[in-house]
Structure formats: C-alpha cells, structure tokens
Amino acid sequence: MDDFDVKLLNALQDDGRLTNYDLAERVGLSASQCSRRRSALEDDGVIGSYHAALSPQALGLDVIAFVQVTLATHSPDNSKRFAKLIDGLEEVQEAYSLTGEADYLVKIAVSDLKALSHVLNDVFLPHESVAHLRSSIVLDRLKQTMRLPLGHLANAAPRTNPASKRKTRRARRSTAG
C-alpha cells in the first residue's frame, strides 16, 4: 500500500460515488492507473463494498439502543443459536462478541420505545440462548462515521502485486543456484 492507494481510499471514503475520472483527479493519477489500483484494492478485499448511507431519522428510526447480552450457557451450539437470532432481525444494525461481563453488544434501531420493548421482551428474552439483557438508549449521537483511520498506512511499504513477488523469488532462486 503506497501513498496513492491511501489517497484513493480516503477519497472513496469521502464519496464512494466518484467517477474514475474524478477519483483520478483527486489522487493525482491517470484514469487508467487509478482504475487498475481501485480494481486491485477491490480484488484484495481492501474495498469490501459500495453502499448508500441512509438516514435513520429520515426513515422514522428515532430510537437507537445498545443491548448487552449474556448467554444462558456458553457453548458453541448456544452461540450459533444466538447468532441465528440476531441475523434474522432487521432491527439489529451491529453485533459484537465481547470479553468481560456481557457476551455480546448489539446495536438496535427502531421507531419508538414500544418497538424496542417488543424486540427486547418478546424476541430476545424468551429466546433459549439468552439469559440476561442490559439496554442503554442513545440520547444523543456525538459522532458517527464509517471512515476507517488510514494514518498508519501513510509510511507503509509500497504495495506490490503477487506476480511481481513471484518473479523476484524466481530470479533470486536462479541466481542462487
């Protein structure tokens, strides 16, 4: 990963809808070089997807809650049951397995407190995998970002493609023999 890749990633984090021409202008590369780099970053899994960021408030999802979940038993099967439960709930925006007191932290977006009560009392608590819940309702969002920090990449070694690495290894082997 070199400085051009970092610039490209930062530009796409600012606006994922940039045309290749506009992206090339921002990064300081030709359109063809920029296209190759973007494709390589997509192929390497660095760029995972492109999507529209929707406004929860504009869609009537006015309540955001974080729920700490403690499992009833700690077994692979029970964890799978819980994972299946949250995977099937569109209200669940994010879910994390944790260390510490709670086993999971789940972010839920719903329209109102009644909808939150339904999810917690009628869906989570009766589920066989769940023993205990502790919820916190968001009063105010201080920061929200999908941007990942890229400063640590600024001085990283330049990215080389796998084909050039293979050629270099072959050349070393042929001169060593």
| Per-chain mean pLDDT for the chain | 90
**What's the half-sphere exposure (Cβ side, CA atoms, 13 Å) at 160?**
8
Residue range 6-32, pLDDT digits in tens: 999 999 999 999 999 999 999 999 999
Report residue 174's pLDDT band, with 50, 70 and 90 as the boundaries: very low
Report residue 168's pLDDT band, with 50, 70 and 90 as the boundaries: very low
Domain limits, the chain: 1-48, 63-137
Query: Closest Cα partner for 24 from 42, 11, 41?
Result: 11
Radius of gyration, alpha carbons of the chain: 23
Largest CA distance in the chain: 75
Share of the chain above pLDDT 90, in %: 81
Q: Which CATH architecture has domain 63-137?
A: 2-Layer Sandwich (3.30)
Q: State the average pLDDT over residues 132-148.
A: 95
CATH of domain 1-48: 1.10.10.10
Q: State the average pLDDT over residues 73-95.
A: 96
DSSP H or E segment with residue 25: helix 20-27
Tokens 């009644």 appear where?
114
Residue range 57-80, pLDDT digits in tens: 999 999 999 999 999 999 999 999
Q: Which one-letter DSSP state was computed for residue 118?
A: I
